[in-house]
Structure 1
Amino acid sequence: MAQKENADPGVPSLPEVRREEPLPPERRPGAAPLQPIALQASPPPQRTFTLDDFEIGRPLGKGKFGSVYLAREQSTKFLVALKILFKSQVEKEGVEHQLRREIEIMAHLQHPNILRLYNYFHDERRVFLILEYAPGGELYKELQRQGRFDATRIATLMEEAADALLYCHGKKVIHRDIKPENLLLGLMGELKIADFGWSVHAPSLQRRTLCGTLDYLPPEMVEGREHDEKVDLWCLGVLCYELLVGHPPFESPSHNETYHRITKGGPCHRDPMFRELTPPGIPCHGDPAPHAAGEPKGWAGPQDMGPTYTAPAPHPPFSLWGETRGWGARDTGAGWGCP
């Protein structure tokens, strides 16, 4: 300021030169427009549950590893199915990996027709799974009460099951044990696929493990061949038959006969409804066997099946969550199909 005051008034003052900072590269002429930067929000803290956070209600199911209870979260009063597994039993049966895989798979599945796994926690002795509560209970028990379902209800259930399975297959998950005991019903009767104990996440969708329930096994599993996600579609067809008729299509008194009907023969049923629905040319064990003229006519039995059939050696019974399933015996559904 002193220089300006003492300057000669007859000499014009030079304009003040302001020094400008260079523009950053992204703001120079011709540069690409600025892109908005998405700020990454910090993930919300994970809540850690304890058993004290729940009011325990009535039991919903019981199994060798523990039980399933109706429970209510204390702060929100939200109803859930609390599945309690004892670590000692899990370790005794050597299924720790199977339990871990079931939790990991269910935690990544969110579909209206798949039972939700909300969270899990554990203490020194137990593992607790916080599951969605399905008020309608097991589809198997409902089928036992009614004997069979009408076509409209079956069509709705099949649509819901197919949509859920397509969602699973899109995520490279194969369920491998679709059956009425593993299907629950929601408040409005909607289907909920549960029990992912035999499920697998297989990016290639190619597996060789024999698993599931004998009446629902597809031919490729029975014959020990490689299988993919289409085994779930086979089970869906068997399920549709059972809901319509009242029992599985390949059910028989012996294991070998069941093997034969799955791989070489056809469904066994004498119900008039089944005969009306069966397209021409589909074999049905239980139809009168063809006999020469003059010979007595009777129901087809093992002696009417042509050359002696040698079924593959039965595999030993396997266990799921500690419950041994014998071949041909249906799971009672009293255990792990919570609720």
Structure 2
Amino acid sequence: MSENKKTKEIVEKYMETITIPPIPGHAESTKTLVAKMIDHPAYNNPNYEWSANDFEWGKKLGEGAFGKVFLARDRRSRFVVAIKTLLKKKIVEKGAEKQVVREIEIQSHLKHPNILQLLAWFHDSHRIYLVLEYANKGQLYTRLKRFGRFDNHHAAKYVYQVADALEYCHQNHVIHRDIKPENLLLTITDDVKVADFGWSVHSPSMKRNTRCGTLDYLPPEMIDGKDYRHHVDNWCLGILCYEFLHGRAPFATKAVADTCRRIKMRDLHFDKHISDNAKNFINRLVVLKGEKRMSLKEVMKHPWIMEWVNPNKGKK
């Protein structure tokens, strides 16, 4: 099989899993747009050099430590994307060169329906551009703050999808290390896309000792500076579920030292409205010893997940 044909088949298979947002004033069907994207010279020529001029630039979607994220559309295919721009000067100032390279390398190789796809990347004298799949509904964090907390159905659905994405990452020896609502995006069909692999790491031995991530979500082994494995993501998933159902992280305080102390003591308390199944689910993930935490395969079969993600159940 030729390399071009193989590439087209891979892209076609992947395109079946992602949502292409409607383009106002554009009458072409989704299939036509997909065909155009596949026939784009970038997919037939591994040496194709992207540039900012390949895109029509739209509104700013967000801002990060190294730059901004914009809505954009490929001029040739009319395919809508999000472009993350990173200022090289800021990257160098913060000594984050390795972090950015790692993000690009890891995210460009991950292909999963619940992971935000890095479609392409390029750079000029001042910036690095990451061309990303566009998730129409934005940050899950924004949705959570708007509603205060999620009901069991939405919480279980989102947790299940994140668990599925993390299981895929772990199978490919990738630890995300920064799972939190701000790093999860929502599509037009209300499905989760795990994003921001800036703190992720490819570690075939699955053993690390670098402290990173967000304090409220840090597991005890990271706080203590001990070696850790992929189980750190399982802890974060438990904290995520707790925040979905309560509207707040379980160990957060105003003082860093107090938050660290509560994490290491596992000072965990539940509100009265939390069901026994949900408590059991969280308790089996928020466990001090990493190897004792519930596996992601068990997560997806847990009674609380099965009760609320079951398609036969009424959905709100």
TM-score w.r.t. the length of structure 1 is 0.68
Report SS of the residue matched to 1:169.
helix
Q: Which residue of 2 aligns with 1:53?
A: 54
1:147: which partner in 2?
148
Aligned CA distance change for structure 1 residues 51 and 265 (closer, same or farther; 3 Å): closer
**CA offset at residue 111 of structure 1?**
0.4
Aligned partner of 2:272 in structure 1 is: 272
Q: Does 1:251 align with 2:244?
A: no
Check conservation: 1:139, 1:185, Cα contact below 8 A: yes
Instruction: Give the Cα separation in 1 of the matches to 2:3 and 2:279.
Output: 58
Specify whether residues 252 and 274 from structure 1 end up closer, same or farther in structure 2 by C-alpha distance, changes over 3 A only. Answer: farther
**Number of paired residues?**
241
Q: Does 1:238 align with 2:247?
A: no
Aligned to 2:70: 69
- Cα RMSD between the aligned structures? 1.7
2:120 paired residue number: 119
Cα shift at 1:256: 2.1
Equivalent residues of 1:250, 1:268 under 8 A apart? no
Distance 1:256 1:220 in 2: 15
Alignment partners' CA distance in 1, 2:96 and 2:149:
35
Which whole-Å CA distance do the structure 1 matches of 2:201 and 2:107 have between them? 11
Shift, 1:90, TM fit:
1.1
Match of 1:200 in 2: 201
1:181 aligns with 2:182: yes
- For 2:226, what is the secondary structure of its paired residue? coil
Write the distance in 2 (CA, Å) between the matches of 1:253 and 1:197.
26
- Residues 251 and 268 in structure 1, CA contact (< 8 A), matched pair in contact too: no
Partner letter of residue 273 of structure 2? M
Which is worse superposed, 92-101 or 232-241? 92-101
More helix per residue: 2
Q: Note the C-alpha offset of 1:273.
A: 1.7
One-letter amino acid matched to 2:191: E
Equivalent residue for 1:295? none
- Shift in alpha-carbon separation, 1:265–1:168, aligned structure 2, 3 A: closer
2:213 alignment partner in structure 1: 212
- The separation in 1 between residues aligned to 2:249 and 2:94, in whole angstroms, is 30
| TM-score, length of structure 2 as denominator length | 0.73
Q: Which stretches in structure 1 are left out of the alignment for 5+ residues?
A: 1-38, 283-339
Letter in 1 for 2:77: T
State the partner residue of 2:264.
Answer: 263
CA distance in structure 2 between the partners assigned to 1:134 and 1:187 by the alignment: 7
**3-state secondary structure, aligned to 1:272:** coil
Q: State the distance in 2 between where 1:199 and 1:209 align.
A: 11
The structural deviation recorded for 1:86 is: 1.3
Segments of 4+ in structure 1 off by > 3 A? 39-44, 274-279
Shift of 1:266: 1.8
The aligned amino acid for 1:125 is: H
Q: Which has the larger radius of gyration?
A: 1
Opposite residue 235 of structure 1, the aligned amino acid is C
Instruction: Give 3-state SS (helix, strand or coil) of 1:273's partner.
Output: coil
Determine the C-alpha separation between the residues in 1 that align with 2:140 and 2:104: 23
Q: How does 1:1-339 map to 2 (within 5 A)?
A: 41=3, 44-46=44-46, 47-268=48-269, 271-274=271-274, 278=279
1:267-307 C-alpha deviation (Å, 9 max, x unpaired): 245x322486656xx8xxxxxxxxxxxxxxxxxxxxxxxxx
What percent of counterpart residues are identical? 49
SS class of match (1:130): strand
